[in-house]
Amino acid sequence: MQHKQVFQQLTEFWNSGMPFNQLLGFKITEFDQDKAEIRFDWQDKLIGNPTQKILHGGVTAAALDLAGGVVAAANIIAQLEDLSPETVEKSIKKLSTIDLRTDYLRPGRGEEFIATAVVIRSGSKVAVTRMELHNEKGEHIAFGTATYMVG
Amino acid sequence: MQHKQVFQQLTEFWNSGMPFNQLLGFKITEFDQDKAEIRFDWQDKLIGNPTQKILHGGVTAAALDLAGGVVAAANIIAQLEDLSPETVEKSIKKLSTIDLRTDYLRPGRGEEFIATAVVIRSGSKVAVTRMELHNEKGEHIAFGTATYMVG
Amino acid sequence: MQHKQVFQQLTEFWNSGMPFNQLLGFKITEFDQDKAEIRFDWQDKLIGNPTQKILHGGVTAAALDLAGGVVAAANIIAQLEDLSPETVEKSIKKLSTIDLRTDYLRPGRGEEFIATAVVIRSGSKVAVTRMELHNEKGEHIAFGTATYMVG
Amino acid sequence: MQHKQVFQQLTEFWNSGMPFNQLLGFKITEFDQDKAEIRFDWQDKLIGNPTQKILHGGVTAAALDLAGGVVAAANIIAQLEDLSPETVEKSIKKLSTIDLRTDYLRPGRGEEFIATAVVIRSGSKVAVTRMELHNEKGEHIAFGTATYMVG
């Protein structure tokens, strides 16, 4: 099996099997070691402040954390020689968020939101990622930085 | 009207009128200038990783952001002399999260979760808060720090 | 007087009149609203760990804070219509760091170090900046994010 | 050799052998796994802004990073059974700062400054610490949070 196939399988599994991501409508649309991408549509249930109709800050943080986690996962898998399901599962289980920082730049308004992530530090124990959230017009809503345990 | 009454009214309004908080089951249980508290019960839909049955990191971030926002709001209101609904609403509208940092200490397991927040820097323009998330056993799950625009 | 002249004057003043920056050998080499740049040479006194001969983490943080502060200052000044020394001084006095985050990517080795900063959120009260530290070979040593009070 | 003896030796070594800490006048005054403490006196060379006579933000960040690093080091050593100089040195060499966040609460004024640190997450690979900076009057100047690679 190739790495790309593993990425594809994990995308399907995570898109269909992670309750909170489904609740929020998050879809992984890119799962690679260079970049991860998450997309989700506006839904009224994602509103934080009802008088302003903007995304709850927690939705933004959740989307950035998922995007960062996906690109960190891809970096773990890319370092594996054995791509058996057991090895992949065991490696992915070690993935956890150590810290996550979100910088809110603009109110979260839009019809569709796109979170992207890249790895800025990759190691056998810890990975650091940077994320961005834009809406469908390309307006930049938030920046994120996260540190993940990966080994 | 007294400040306490305003806090009580905002608690009721925010508990019943903020869609994302209702979706996640967040309840404001303390709204004061010294401290804010949010409580929520475990629900399967809050799961991040289905193989581990732990809270999604975004749920933790959302709870910490709400707790910090409540104590920051209480600090805005405490500085108001005029407590008319118009003044309160106008003041609260200025509240927005500038940045939020979450440090994940332990897996988010438990039956009930309690997020608390205190203000560590209070000003006319910016407030900084510190938050903690514990479960019903008192296990410390996460720390948070947030900066809010308040004026 | 033009904005560029004010930037030039502040560069000279800050390069010659800020004790800690002089102690560390920091030089402002670009002071503009699009971008700020700080340069400094390796000196043994900047060593953190003597067995490894790498920059102390505090040196990196200080350089990033200065670069972010300069670009934030340029954004304050760019919004001024009155560029009299009194107005500029009064405006600059409001500038202070609210929070600063540094992500260390690689050991701080090199002969010369270059810190750059851009503004990612600009407002009348708060500015948010992103910074990077590279060495003379272009190796990326650190990322930074900072929030400044500007009004 | 006991752990306490190792802590004492490292205190002496770090207080006399780390150039940047000496330049700034930092002294480790407590080196334990429960808590670390750093003290330093006001010196004009630590001034950031000459018109305000307050500590440069980089000095605060450096003091917090040192305090966090010391308590993280104590936690590494506390987990060692073999306390031979080679093992201690090898273990301490793995210590490096992954990220450091500083929240500036008040202007850095005072005659003496005290930075303290505690560990909030301790593991075999990563440790997270929280730090505070006070002056001699007990005024709280800054908060910090840092993540360290420890294994």
> Above pLDDT 90, what percent of chain B?
88
CB contact under 8 A, D47 and C20: yes
Q: Which residues from chain C sit within 8 angstroms of residue A98, using beta carbons?
A: none
Q: What is the pLDDT of residue D1?
A: 63
Distance from CA of A131 to the nearest CA of C (A): 13
Q: Which residue of D has its CA nearest to C56?
A: D20
Length reported for chain C: 151
Q: What is the pLDDT of residue A1?
A: 64
β-bridge partners, D113: D40, D135
**Confidence class of residue A49 from pLDDT cuts 50, 70 and 90?**
confident
Higher-pLDDT residue of B29 and A3 is B29
Distance CA D38, CA D109 (A): 17
**Prediction ipTM score:** 0.95
The secondary structure of C81-96 as a DSSP string is S---HHHHHHHHHT-E
Distance CA B58, CA B44 (A): 14
Distance CA B106, CA D121 (A): 8
CB contact under 8 A, A65 and B63: no
Q: Say if residue A114's pLDDT is above 90.
A: yes
Q: Half-sphere exposure (CA, 13 Å, Cβ side) for A151?
A: 16
8 Å CB contact between B37 and B67: yes
8 Å CB contact between C21 and C13: no
CB contact under 8 A, D149 and A101: no
**Shortest CB distance from C145 goes to which of A103, A120, A147?**
A103
Q: Which residues from chain A sit within 8 angstroms of residue D149, using beta carbons?
A: 125-126
Average pLDDT over residues B83-94: 92
CB contact under 8 A, B128 and D121: no
> Above pLDDT 70, what percent of chain A?
99
Higher-pLDDT residue of A2 and D114 is D114
DSSP state of D124: S
8 Å CB contact between B15 and B27: yes
**Confidence class of residue B1 from pLDDT cuts 50, 70 and 90?**
low
Contacts of C113 (CB under 8 A, 6+ apart): C39, C40, C41, C42, C55, C63, C133, C134, C135, C136, C141
Query: Among D98, D119, D149, which would you mutate to test the A interface (most chain A Cβ atoms within 10 Å of its Cβ)?
Result: D98
Q: How big is the CA angle at D60 (ends A125 and C113), to the nearest 5 degrees?
A: 65
Average pLDDT over residues A111-139: 96
Grouping H, G, I as helix, E, B as strand and the rest as coil, residue A62 is: helix
Distance CA B10, CA B30 (A): 11
Q: What is the pLDDT of residue B50?
A: 74
Q: What is the pLDDT of residue A48?
A: 87
Average pLDDT over residues A11-18: 92
Q: What is the pLDDT of residue A50?
A: 74
Of the listed ranges A68-82, B121-135, C48-62, D22-36, the one predicted with least confidence: C48-62
Distance from CA of D148 to the nearest CA of B (A): 13
How many CB pairs (< 8 A) connect B and C?
28
Q: Name the nearest CA neighbour of C132 among C63, C33, C69.
A: C63
Distance CA A10, CA A12 (A): 5
Q: How far is CA D12 from CA C47, D4, D8, D63, D77, in A?
A: 17, 12, 6, 17, 16
Q: Which residues from chain D sit within 8 angstroms of residue C48, using beta carbons?
A: 18, 20-21
Query: Among A40, A89, A97, which would you mutate to test the B interface (most chain B Cβ atoms within 10 Å of its Cβ)?
Result: A97
Q: What is the pLDDT of residue C72?
A: 97
Q: Say if residue B87's pLDDT is above 70.
A: yes
Q: Say if residue C1's pLDDT is above 70.
A: no
8 Å CB contact between C105 and C142: yes
> Above pLDDT 70, what percent of chain D?
99
The secondary structure of chain C as a DSSP string is --HHHHHHHHHHHHHHH-HHHHHHT-EEEEE-SS-EEEEEE--GGGEEETTTTEE-HHHHHHHHHHHHHHHHHHHHHHT-S---HHHHHHHHHT-EEEEEEEEE-S----SEEEEEEEEEEE-SSEEEEEEEEEETT--EEEEEEEEEE--
Average pLDDT over residues B137-143: 97
Of the listed ranges A114-118, B8-12, C36-40, the one predicted with least confidence: B8-12
Q: Which residues from chain D sit within 8 angstroms of residue A151, using beta carbons?
A: 125
Q: Half-sphere exposure (CA, 13 Å, Cβ side) for D66?
A: 35
β-bridge partners, A47: A55
Q: List chains adjacent to chain A, taking adjacency as at least 3 C-beta pairs closer than 8 Å.
A: B, C, D
Q: Which residue of B has its CA nearest to C128?
A: B98
CB contact under 8 A, D145 and B103: yes
Q: What is the pLDDT of residue B115?
A: 98
CB contact under 8 A, A125 and D149: yes
Distance CA A12, CA D139 (A): 53
Q: Which residues from chain B sit within 8 angstroms of residue A129, using beta carbons?
A: none
Q: Which residue of C has its CA nearest to A121?
A: C105
CB contact under 8 A, A125 and D125: yes
Distance CA A49, CA C87 (A): 38
pLDDT digits (tens, 9 = 90+) for D7-49: 999 999 999 989 999 999 999 999 999 999 999 999 999 998 7
